[in-house]
Amino acid sequence: MVPNAGGGSLALVTMGVGWDPAAQRRWLPGRTKDIDLNAAALLFANDAIVDVVYHEQLMSQDGSVRHLGDSTTGEGDGDDELITMDLTRIAPQISTVILLVTCYTGQTFEQIDNAFCRVIDGMTETEIARYNLSKIHAHTGFLAGKLVRTQQGWEFRSIDEEIQAEHPVEAVPQLAPFLV
């Protein structure tokens, strides 16, 4: 459980995902397959999924969660995909937001150079959590953590679990244990 650095509950949170493009393999002729990691936020009312924000739906129904654009290559330094969450505007029935990373192109994280996921308190610009995804073996999905609405406000709770999922839809059936 992580409240914001100044105490109290979280108000603005960003999830950033970054990775390096697929390197050309000298011993393989032709082009390598691009790597496309995807950041996703899945919004739940208790154990029922209500909304998903990811590369195919860039904004939640209430406008409080936004995906800032899909990188399909990992080109450039720093975060390649960002999801911003204004927790003060999330619909009142939403109790949990699960933060997910999947590899849409099917590579396991160990096959991806410098892959990471980080969660940032948007009010203080402090990193709440950082995960080195390149150390994950034989999985295509990663549950970073969840934002949980409590009586005191929103809190971040790390999950740090690997799953098999190339798309958020494939992850949904695996999320029930993390909604309690």
152-175 pLDDT, tens digit each: 999 999 999 999 999 999 999 999
Residue 26, in any domain of the structure: no
Q: What share of the chain is helix, strand, coil (3-state, %, to 5)?
A: 10, 45, 50
96 is a domain residue: yes
Domain presence at residue 17: yes
Q: 0.85 cut: is pTM over it?
A: yes
Number of independent structural domains in the chain = 1
- What's the rounded Cα separation, in Å, for the pair 78 and 172? 28
In a domain, 50, yes or no: yes
What CATH number does residue 52 fall under? 2.60.60.30
- Domain of 91, in residue numbers: 12-21+34-178
Whether 2 is in a domain gets the answer no
pLDDT in tens, 41-54: 999 999 999 999 99
pLDDT surpassing 80 at residue 145 = yes
Higher pLDDT, 22 or 64: 64
In a domain, 29, yes or no: no
